[in-house]
Every structure is written in C-alpha cells, then in structure tokens.
Structure 1
Amino acid sequence: MLTEQKKQFIEFMMQADVLRFGDFVTKSGRSTPYFVNTGNYRTGAQIAGLGRFYADMVHETGCSFDALFGPAYKGIPLVTACAGALYTAYGEDKPYFFNRKEAKDHGEGGSLVGYKPKDGDRVIIIEDVITAGTAVRETMPVLKACGDISCREMFISVNRCEVGQTPGKTAVMEVQEAFGIRVHALVTVRDIRAWLSAHGGYEALLPKMDAYMKKYCLEGDAAEC
C-alpha cells in the first residue's frame, strides 16, 4: 500500500535526483528503467532528512540492537545520518561503525572505523538498495570477522523485489534464508510504480516499468513485495 510516508520518501528521492528514470544498468548487470543512487545526496538538509526517514523506520520496528553498521561506501553516510537522527528524534544514543574497502596498515590498523564490536553485540545494517544481494554477501564476512555478534535486521531505502541467484526467490528471500536477516525497506519497486501511475507525465515510462518488473521481480517476499 502506498502510504503518505512512502509518497513523501519517493518525492524526497526524486527531488534529490537520487531516484532517476531512464536507461541504466544495475550492479548485477541488469538493464533497468529506474535507478537509485544514494551518492547523489549532497546537502546538509538532504542527509538530515534521509537520516530521519531511516531513524523512523528503525524506531517503528521496535527491534533491539547494540550498534549500527554501514557497509562501504554508500552505507557510510547512511549509517552516520541514521545514528544521528535516532539520537535527535528519539534520544537513542547508539554507536555506529563502518568498514574500509582495504584494511589500513598504519595507525590503529584494521578495516573497521568507529565502534569496535564485541562478542554478544546485536548489530543492524544500514544500506541503500538490494538488487541481487551481492553487497550483503560481501558484508557478512566483514561482520563475522568482528567476533561473536548477531545480525538479524537490515534497513534499506528501496527493495527492488528482484530475483536473486536462485530461481523463484528474491534477493531479500535469499538474504533471510542464508543469513537469518530480516530486511526492512522504506519503499519497494511496487510503491514507485504506484506513485508513477498516480501522477501525470509518466505514461511512456509505465510500460517499461511493467516489462522490467515482469522479467525480474517476484510477487512476494519477506519485505512485503
């Protein structure tokens, strides 16, 4: 269902030129008529607003956690903004951390920046988009190398609801089955499609969205696609 909050977030992404329509290729190599690039957030107002959207979503789930993790590179500003908004809006002062793509061999060394996870910690992941689940598979070894921690919740901007590496299963389904992670999304591709159909000027785009969704998307998964 396209709620008012979802409408606001879709329009927020479009105003920031983060949600774009045209001809693109995803990280998984699929040609797509829409693309989400959180790297286009570039102002203080935008990152503050984004952090609040994420913080609201995290707070509304009611999940218990000890720290937030943002995978390099897109997850770094996202986790920072979310942690700040959680404190500002809800008084929840939670530590956060992120990883480097390459381990640092001087100073404090290592591949992690910020909070140092300890055994028993419950960590949530703050990420941008799940398409084929590639980034999640790259992230989990980084987290598991931190120690005996648990990771049961992941928060993203957009769930593209696309089939992953296994026929008949979305990437979100695979992530939940492989790692036991429940994925929460601010919006799904179907929310975006519903928003487009409710506004004029997108008549030529709708058939392309429908064709793409028919080819790659599945009707249901753990994140309410």
Structure 2
Amino acid sequence: MAYLYNTGYSSGENYAFLEAKGLCSYIPLHGTYKGGPDGFKYHKADDCYTCPQGKVIPFKKVFFEKKNHTKKKEYRALKPVCVDCPIRSACLGKSAQEKKFTVTFYREGYERNNARVNSPRGSYMKGKGQSTVEPVLGTLTQFLGLRKINTIGIDQANKVMHLSAIAYNLKKYLKFTAKTVKSDTKAVCYVILNIKTLITLQIRLLTSS
C-alpha cells in the first residue's frame, strides 16, 4: 500500500513509522533537507563522511535536539585533521577548531522516500493526488467550511470526517443526477431513493467506533 501526503508531513519519524508498517511513502522532502554538508561524501559502510580535501569526518554520537526533540547523529573530526587544511577558514569559519555537523538519524529513510518520489511511480502518484485527494480537501475547507475540527480525540475527529464525506458525496451525486432528470425536486427525490444503502453503511461505521 502507498501513502501520499504533502511536504508538511516530511520527517524522518514519519518515514520510519510508515516503513515499519510496511507502507511506501511518496512525501516530497522539505527544501531545507540535506544529507550532509555541501561537497561532503557519505560512506555507509564506515558511517562517516569525507570532506572535499579527502579528510574523514567520523560518526560520534546519537542525540535528541532540544529545540524540537528530533533525533540526530553528530559527525566530528579531531582538531589535528583540520589544522593544515587549505580551505580551513572557508569550511570552519573564524572560531571553530574542528569540523562538526549533525545529520538526521533517519537519513536513509529520507533517501529511500526521495528515490520513490522522483521515480516514474512517484510522478504517477503525484498526479493521482492532485486529481483526486487535493480537490476533495480543497472543496471541504474552502466551500464546505471544514477548516477546523472542533472535537476531542481521533475517534470523534474520524466521525466528523465521515460525515463530511457524506455531505461531499451527496453534493456531487446531486449534481450528477440533476443532469438526468427534468427538475431539481425530482433530482432530490432520486438521490434520496438511491443513497439509502450508503447512509446505512456510514451510520453503522460511525456507531461502531
């Protein structure tokens, strides 16, 4: 099964969660994402980077960033490694003594997701989302007033979304059937007669949760 979301859901935690469930994500990466500093090459076997001058920047530790509690990996070179580097000032700045940087703990998850997004399948999924999911959400938020869920808990929010889906489907169905009958009144009657099964199924779903 594939999951398609917008860039706002791009995070290593989300990618890891979906992969653990056996689901394929097609979530575009944030524009700020980087797999490491520009010009640095990652070596998976040794879990280290090499700088543009060929110096090794090894892995040091895993930690949680305090600002947003995201899981990170720190890579840091020893001070002697950078002492005689010809691009030292450009790479380290004025005060740093050694090269140190952090990378998301879920780097490989980002890369796998990005490969899927940029594949032919990813292009298909993007078009599918733009033609099916996004128009529905746009209609619900912009024309049907569903800009905020005023309930507590996932179960109650789920009921709101199911009721919203009923309203959306009725509106679309009415528009469709109006083309096959002579008046709006007859169209309404036609809809009521033909959606009994749909409403019954939706009510069962809502009352069972």
Say yes or no: TM over 0.5: no
Q: Which has the higher contact order (CA 8 A, sep 6+)?
A: 1
Normalising by the residue count of structure 2, what TM-score does the alignment of the two structures yield?
0.21
Q: Pick the structure with more strand per residue.
A: 1
State the structure with more CA Rg: 2
Give the structure with the larger helix fraction.
2
The TM-score with structure 1 as length reference comes to 0.20
